[in-house]
Structure 1
Amino acid sequence: MAQDKLGVAIVGTGFGCITHLPAFRDAGFEVRALVGRDPKRTAERAERFGVPHAFTDLAAALALDGVDAVTVATPPHTHAEIVLAAVAAGKHVVCEKPFAGDADQARTMLAAAERAGVVHLLGTEFRWQSSQALLARLIAAGAIGEPRLATWLLHIPVLTGPDAEVPAWWGRAEDGGGWLGAHASHWIDQIRHTLGEFAGVSAGLPLVADRPGQTAEDTFNIRFRTVTGVEGTLQSSAGIYGPPLITTRVAGTHGTAWVEFDDVWVADANGDRRVETPADLANPDPVAPPSDLMHTAYDLLHSMGIDRAPYTKLAATFAALIHGDPVPDSPRHATFADGVAGQTVLDAVRASAASGGRWVDCAER
């Protein structure tokens, strides 16, 4: 039996319009309101995308008839206030990552959502990205034996040069800006989902590019160990010149699995082979958002539209959970509890970097 469309209010007019808005519509939601800080920009984007209500006051959106859910696509330092108001109003919530300012704040958000009895998901859309989902499934199925060594590497020159503009908040560490939260939070979630919880980290957070006034890092270099015994390295920079450098690879007792763009490969005693993507993990081709929405180098990270299809699956899972329908265990959705766990790792990374790279036990955090 067909169910009535769920109504959602989108908070944030940048990534909120670039990805959240089309993805939630693709998943069957009715976008009832757009909430932003700038009245003119918010009204213009609401009109452009056919959203019936534009607000700069979150309370007005929460009071609107037909709003069942809220999705939060704003800078990290604003998440807690928005999420706490939304769950207090009884709304189901999706919140972007990085989830909070720190793990204590994240625990407050989780506790509030649990008390309210609402569905709460973390915006980790790349759990549904085909290659990452397949990699996780293969490792869980024992395709490489017991995982022992993991390498995640990404160098992309998006923040180099004088024209590499970023939003003001992104350059400020105190506002949750920087490359650690923007990119490592995805990897941390993927590792937790694929290899187990983090036991500890040793890290550095340098600023490689010459960007006057920026206090947030454009690079992270993290050595980690999981509670399951995997040793690994996460290294990425958005502030270096040169061609992109990308590696995602996990080695185990019987083989190695790795990602090449959207393909997953396995090597073992029988040789190398590409693994076909099963139908349930396949995604349609990316749909690029309108180019005039791309104003900064940070926006351009989303210019190819690769996150729309995975985000649609996240939003569809969100809808199913709200309706009480069953959802697949693979990929498993991330809740605010995952937000707390991920934020704990981010806090440990920052603590390690601030102390010159000492080993920090994540359990102690």
Structure 2
Amino acid sequence: MGGPIKVLVHGTGFAGQGHAEAFRYAGAEIVGIVGRTPSVVKKIAAELKIPYGGTDWQRALVDCQPDVVSIATPGGAHFDPIKQAIAAGCHVFCDKPLTTDGDSASILFQLANDKGVKTAFAASFRYMPEVLHAKRLVAEGAIGEPLEVECISHFNLERDIPFGWSHRKEDGGGRLNNNFTHKLSIVTSVIGEDIQAIMGEVRDDLGKAPIVEGVHNFKTRRDHIPEDLNDPSLEWGESNVEWSYNVTAQINSPFAKNPVTALFKHGGLHPRFHEDYIAFYGSKASIYIKGHYGSGPLYLYGTDKSWTERKLPADIAATIPDVEGDTERNWRYLIRELLRDIKGEPVGHYQTFKEGAQYQRLIDVIRLNNSWTDVSHLQ
């Protein structure tokens, strides 16, 4: 492949702009960007100095002839653009969720596999520095055999965030698609990628949200919360996705004789009393990382029976892209791996549409909410 790798971005919001900057960081050339609204596309293309801006994805694939496409729209808008890009022979970088259900995600995985294109699935918080640190410690045997994992988080999200894609299953919304994907990716990166069994339950603790025009950037949606929520003229949209979940998984690990139990507990609307955390418990020691996505610091509980903070190793720190924002940094890490792979350079394991499809199938199972056993007759 002569010259820089050419990238076409689908999406003009926070993710689209972040993907474009991440690909540039890795040495790629952004040849075009596509969005729904002509005025927005024109503005973003000018701000990011992207030569081509349009609203017709199929036309852009022909006009720009990209090597890679970057999919940065909500999950409900992923299937057709990805299918078209694969047919055009493009490699694909896609944010989570891959699609809105396991069947459609599996179709995309198979299409990409048949076409022989590279894919990357951006459940990318596995590249948090302290998660990489935990991965090394577990592989070195620092905790003995891993036995159990806890991922506990409470986001206390504003209930009156304007109604949008995050409230709708058909658009890729819900906390499983937009939180659990990252948590599961973190755990499997440390423990092992072989998920054996899963059970869980979900709840919609929200119900409804105000409908507000003009919300474009996901990160600034809080700025559009109506001042008067009792205004009788205000319209409301009905949520049909989960805002809380409890999931338990069993994961085979190359470092353990028996499957490791992983608990994922998330309350999207609930306040936290103390910090969120991720913990890995082993037969000899344990690891505790502060933060819902493992932002740190990391502590090790060892033979002295106390928690000791462990400094991030310098060689791990040296691999971390230098940019503000965890999301942006993790995109850059994964995109760097994808481009190295496309160039034929050696890379470690990174998540592809194989995991993207698997995660959607797992979410389908969890959303069935049928893991309960009726014991009322035992009373």
Structure whose alpha-carbon radius of gyration is higher: 2
Q: Which residue of the partner structure matches residue 322 of structure 1?
A: 342
Q: Is 1:344–2:374 an aligned residue pair?
A: no
* 1:116-148 Cα deviation digits (max 9, x unpaired): 111111112222211112112221222111111
Where does structure 2 lack aligned partners over 5 or more consecutive residues?
A: 210-237, 254-258, 375-379
Where does structure 1 lack aligned partners over 5 or more consecutive residues?
A: 288-304, 360-365
Q: Is 1:265–2:295 an aligned residue pair?
A: no
Any conservation in 2 of the 1:147–1:251 contact (CA below 8 Å)? yes
Count residues with an aligned counterpart: 333
Any conservation in 2 of the 1:9–1:32 contact (CA below 8 Å)? yes
Residues 65 and 10 of structure 1: CA distance in aligned 2, closer, same or farther (over 3 Å): closer
| Pairs within 5 Å for 1:163-182 | 164-166=161-163, 168-182=164-178
- Is the partner of 2:281 in helix, strand or coil? strand
Any conservation in 2 of the 1:109–1:336 contact (CA below 8 Å)? yes
Q: Which residue of the partner structure matches residue 362 of structure 1?
A: none
Q: Is 1:309–2:309 an aligned residue pair?
A: no
Query: What is the deviation of 1:358?
Result: 5.8
- The letter of the residue matching 1:264 is L
Q: Is 1:247–2:244 an aligned residue pair?
A: no
Query: What is the deviation of 1:33?
Result: 0.7
Query: What is the deviation of 1:10?
Result: 0.8
| Pairs within 5 Å for 1:1-365 | 4-65=3-64, 67-160=66-159, 162=160, 164-166=161-163, 168-196=164-192, 197-209=194-206, 211-212=208-209, 213-228=238-253, 229-241=259-271, 245-260=275-290, 261-270=295-304, 271-282=306-317, 283=320, 286-287=323-324, 305-327=325-347, 329=348, 332-351=349-368, 353=369, 355=370, 357=372
- Is the partner of 1:83 in helix, strand or coil? helix
CA distance in 1, matches of 2:9, 2:273: 36
Any conservation in 2 of the 1:128–1:281 contact (CA below 8 Å)? no
CA distance in 1, matches of 2:79, 2:287: 37
CA distance in 2, matches of 1:154, 1:323: 38
CA distance in 1, matches of 2:27, 2:115: 24
Q: Which residue of the partner structure matches residue 292 of structure 1?
A: none
CA distance in 2, matches of 1:33, 1:155: 38
- Is the partner of 2:326 in helix, strand or coil? coil
Query: What is the deviation of 1:72?
Result: 0.5
After the TM superposition, which segments of 4 or more aligned residues of structure 1 sit over 6 Å from their partners?
none
Any conservation in 1 of the 2:127–2:330 contact (CA below 8 Å)? yes
> What is the percent sequence identity of the aligned residues?
26
Q: Which residue of the partner structure matches residue 300 of structure 1?
A: none
- The letter of the residue matching 2:54 is F
- The letter of the residue matching 2:309 is R
